[in-house]
Amino acid sequence: GDSVTQMEGPVTLSEEAFLTINCTYTATGYPSLFWYVQYPGEGLQLLLKATKADDKGSNKGFEATYRKETTSFHLEKGSVQVSDSAVYFCALSGYTNAGKSTFGDGTTLTVKP
């Protein structure tokens, strides 16, 4: 079945550092790929998504590129801020999964001033 493997956390960075959170997936067909973010005490919300190979999703300075050849969707940001501290989830969804999404286990990011 479908699966998502995320870089294990927690990740601690200083403000303005470069961020990469790795995500690789296993899926049949051509799934859509997502990054969700969860701030403390809140539900998940969409950060960005890509629906086909080589698409780049971007939002709030975060980027991720759908790489079919390496089955990856790594999240990057050039300069993190304290307000980026949150849990980040990689997910996929596709027509072969009866409408369900598969989520990674989440990576906790803490940014220190």
Partner 1 sequence: DAGITQSPRYKITETGRQVTLMCHQTWSHSYMFWYRQDLGHGLRLIYYSAAADITDKGEVPDGYVVSRSKTENFPLTLESATRSQTSVYFCASSESGYTDTQYFGPGTRLTVL
| Among the residue ranges 19-27, 31-39, 65-73, 78-86, the one whose residues contact partner 1 (CB under 8 A) | 31-39
Residue 45, interface with partner 1 (CB under 8 A)?
yes
Nearest approach in angstroms of CB 75 to partner 1 is 16
Annotate 27-80 with three-state secondary structure: CCCCCEEEEEEECCCCCEEEEEEECCCCCEEEECCEEEECECCCCECCEEECCC
Which residues partner with 49 through β-bridges?
Answer: 34
CB of 69 to partner 1, least distance (A): 21
Q: Which of residues 91-110 bind partner 1 (CB under 8 A)?
A: 93-95, 97-101, 103-106
73 binds partner 1 (CB under 8 A): no
CB of 80 to partner 1, least distance (A): 22
Q: Is 113 exposed, middle or buried (0-12, 13-18, 19+ CB in 10 A)?
A: exposed
In angstroms, how far is CA 92 from the centroid of its own chain? 10
Contact footprint for partner 1 (CB under 8 A):
31-32, 34, 36, 42-46, 49, 51, 89, 93-95, 97-101, 103-106
